[in-house]
Amino acid sequence: MAEEKPFYANEGSQYGEGIILDDYNGAISLVSARKKEENVYMEWVYPQKRDGSRSPMEKSLPWKITMGDKDAAIKFARWLLAQLGATDPGDPATDDPNQDIPF
């Protein structure tokens, strides 16, 4: 059985969209994912070749944003919270309906 990775669901999504917090060989990343019933699936993409042709590579990869090792990921998370207006990591999410944040 595969190890379960933390999944954050986009509560406003009717398609089960969300994000997985992935740790692969010490590199922590956010991976686009979907949840269907009780199963969570990473979203996979075919990146473009680096030869300038814009054609897709033959191998698919997870659609992710790498944040670095654990210390770098924590620093990134704090930066992201500050960008979203949190003054303290324990700040609750705002209930402001005019907020333009997708999660």
Q: Which two tokens stand for residue 88?
A: 């303290």
Q: What is the mean pLDDT of residues 32-53?
A: 91
Query: CA-to-CA distance for 102 and 28, rounded, in angstroms?
Result: 22
What pLDDT score does 36 carry? 92
What is the per-residue pLDDT for 95? Answer: 54
Confidence of residue 96 (pLDDT cuts 50, 70, 90): low
The answer, yes or no, to whether residue 1 has pLDDT greater than 50, is no
Per domain, the residue ranges of the chain are: 7-83
Identify the bridge partners of residue 100 per DSSP, sorted by sequence position.
none
Average of pLDDT values for 11-34?
91
Q: How confident is the model at residue 91 (pLDDT cuts 50, 70, 90)?
A: low
Mean pLDDT of 75-99: 72
pLDDT of 49 over the 50 cut = yes
Report residue 12's pLDDT band, with 50, 70 and 90 as the boundaries. Answer: confident
Name the CA dihedral angle for 25, 43, 92, 86, rounded to a multiple of 10 degrees.
70
